[in-house]
Amino acid sequence: MTLTASMERFVLHWGEMGTRWGFNRSVAQVHALLYLSPKPLNAEEIADTLVLARSNVSSSLKELQSFGLIKVTHVVVGDRRDYFEAIKDVQEMFNLVVEGRRKREIDPTLSLLRDLCIEANADTETDAEVKKRMADMLDFLEVMTHWYDQLRKLPNNTLMQLVKLGDTVVRLLPFTNK
């Protein structure tokens, strides 16, 4: 596959952003290429296009599959190679990344905070202000994850309509500065 200048810039930028979001640069670049590609690509095409080692492409594809961001497909009768295509729906892609990060980062933190709050409350040596701060952090994360869970129940088009209301909703709230 030949990349245009704008496609190359997109792939390079996506790789840079991926490192800030907790992904390996190559993983993010493979994802960007598959997202932009109008047709499924096999690992050799990906390696050739991005000038990456085949082993690097293979491990990147496995990681992207584990997130559900790409899927395997077969395109030509008689061609036994796996071809890969990215989820093209941006909102679905976003949801998959957020869910993956929640499982890896937020859920373990919630579990730890719950345990720490129980331990601290039973501990007479822990300062009351420290106990309060841990409880405040736990409460905040529980409220935010509950809110997120409620939003995820909405159909994608309804959620987007709600998000697009943005400033209008904020201005309707009685405690905001107008």
**Tens digit of each residue's pLDDT (9 = 90 or more) over 11-26:** 999 999 999 988 899 9
Same domain, 24 and 80: yes
Tell me which of 86, 101, 135 is where a domain ends: 86
Express as a percent the part of the chain with pLDDT over 90. Answer: 74
Residue 49 in any domain: the answer is yes
Structural domain span for residue 148: 90-164
More confident residue, 171 or 116: 116
Same domain, 10 and 80: yes
Cα separations in angstroms, 53 against 17, 41, 48, 50, 62: 21, 16, 9, 9, 15
pLDDT, tens digit, for every residue of 144-162?
999 999 998 999 889 888 8
User: Which pair of tokens denotes residue 35?
Assistant: 């997202």
The reported pLDDT for the residue numbered 176 is 54
Q: What is the mean pLDDT of residues 154-174?
A: 84
Give me the CATH number covering residue 28: 1.10.10.10
**Amino acid letter, residue 95:** N
- Sheet containing strand 70-73, edge to edge, reads 41-42, 83-86, 70-73
pLDDT range class, residue 79, cuts 50, 70, 90? confident
Q: Which of 68, 139, 72, 60 is nearest to 98 (CA)?
A: 68
Helices 156-165 and 90-101 cross at an angle (nearest 10°) of: 90
Q: Which of 160, 34, 171, 139 is nearest to 95 (CA)?
A: 160
Same domain, 119 and 81: no
- Asked whether residue 177 carries a pLDDT value surpassing 60, the answer given is no
Look at 6-20, 30-44, 47-61, 68-82 and tell me which has the smallest mean pLDDT.
68-82
Cα distance between residue 153 and residue 85, in whole Å: 26
